[in-house]
Amino acid sequence: MTTVKDRALAVGNRLGVKVIPRLPDAAKRLLSGGRAVTIDGNTLDPSLQMLLAAQRATGVDGLVIADDARASRANFAALSQTLNERDVRVADIRPVSIPGPAGTIPARHYRPTVGGDPAPLLVFFHGGGWVLGDLDSYDSACRLISRDAGVHVLAVDYRLAPEHRAPAAVDDAYAAYLWARERAVDLGADPRRVAVGGDSAGGNLAAVVTRLARDAGDPLPSLQWLIYPATDLRGGTRSRSLFSDGFLLTKHDVDWFQNRYVEGSDLDFSDPLVSPLLAEDLSGLSPALVVTAGFDLLRDEGDQYATRLRESGVTVDYRSMPSMIHGFINLNVLGGGVGRANAEMISALRAHLAHD
């Protein structure tokens, strides 16, 4: 049931999204405390600082609502609608059904507005801690990627916890990747250039899928695009302490998501199926484009994964976005520094997939 507080928060979010991009940085700082936020040598983007200040003013702290999956999903969906960039257009968007290990996996195909030779295909796994998120909540991000990278995007609606514990999401993600390789031509894409990618939990899935393909002898993705990925569920990094609260994703959120994903399954946090950083062998994997955010709990484990890949002989393009917070791919509507960070990593994706 929608409460008065929920309605007020929704109105506040819509107003904030309209106002923040129009204000000069000095005004954003003034309205959010009067001074810049600098931690660990990084200074928070002023638009994000104002957004976070507005959330705190309305009593919002993190993505998990009352430790309830249904309420948290509803809140995440509402926030996504508020942040939707309706003017980002692609040539075509169509529903797709993928045969999966436990039934049909819903997906959505975004066709880019490009002519000439078939464009690459990105199989995209959304974030949300393996508990939140769906095709609608990542629609704006997928349209942005397809338009600006000039690629087909196949967004995958994998099974979520706690209804489906690990490795259900992995099984769906891998099945979707194999299907995409087989059906790339039918989608109008280049079968020689099929990449995997995702943010947060989705980045985790993209990393795991890449290793599973190598181990099974299946064709490797052309690229693994890992956007602030979760790579070590054991935690313990410095960034998990530094940014445990106040930067959209909280330590409570992460702990709750991880427990919902793994508890009750046959896996634990040290299993490489859920913690790809802990795999013994990372050699022979696809080239990686790894992106981290400076004000993110998951920053250090993303950095560590990039380092381990590079030490294992994998080609790595590592991009640190020092002024960003977790989830910035969904915040592009704020423009400014957020828009520039998204433009940089999507441009890098385009460049990596430009070659056969």
Characterise 41 by phi-psi region: left (phi > 0), alpha (psi -120 to 50), beta (else): left
> Nearest-CA neighbor of 61 among 259, 325, 251, 297?
251
With beta carbons less than 8 A apart as the criterion, state whether 275 and 130 touch: no
Encoding tokens for residue 162? 């706690």
Instruction: Identify the pLDDT of residue 5.
Output: 43
Cβ count near 325 (within 10 Å): 25
Average pLDDT over every residue of 264-268? 95
What ranges make up the beta strands (E) of 151-295? 152-156, 189-199, 224-227, 288-295
> Nearest-CA neighbor of 196 among 179, 188, 187?
179
Residue 152 falls in the annotated catalytic set: no
Q: How far apart are CA 69 and CA 218, in angstroms?
A: 35
With beta carbons less than 8 A apart as the criterion, state whether 128 and 100 touch: no
Residue 326 falls in the annotated catalytic set: yes
Q: Chain-wide mean pLDDT for the chain?
A: 93
Q: Could you report the per-residue pLDDT of 119-134, keeping only the tens digit for each? A: 999 999 999 999 999 9
Asked which of 5-19, 70-84, 258-272, 284-298 is least confident by mean pLDDT, the reply is 5-19
- DSSP annotation of 334 reads G
Segment holding 62, helix H or strand E: none
- Cβ partners under 8 Å of residue 30, min gap 6: none
Confidence of residue 13 (pLDDT cuts 50, 70, 90): low
Does the pLDDT at position 59 exceed 90?
no
Encoding tokens for residue 238? 């410095």
Does the pLDDT at position 1 exceed 60?
no
Instruction: Identify the pLDDT of residue 56.
Output: 84
Average pLDDT over every residue of 305-309? 98
Residue 271 falls in the annotated catalytic set: no
With beta carbons less than 8 A apart as the criterion, state whether 32 and 50 touch: yes
With beta carbons less than 8 A apart as the criterion, state whether 206 and 178 touch: no
Q: Could you report the per-residue pLDDT of 17-34, keeping only the tens digit for each? A: 778 888 888 888 888 888
Q: Could you report the per-residue pLDDT of 183-199, keeping only the tens digit for each? A: 999 999 999 999 999 99
- Cβ partners under 8 Å of residue 151, min gap 6: 112, 119, 120, 121, 122, 145, 189, 195, 349, 350, 353
Q: Could you report the per-residue pLDDT of 224-238, keeping only the tens digit for each? A: 999 999 999 999 999
**Catalytic hit among 200, 222, 275, 323:** 200
Please report, in angstroms and rounded to a whole number, the separation of the first and last CA atoms in the chain. Answer: 51
The rounded percent of the chain whose pLDDT value lies above 90 is 86
> Nearest-CA neighbor of 25 among 37, 13, 41?
37
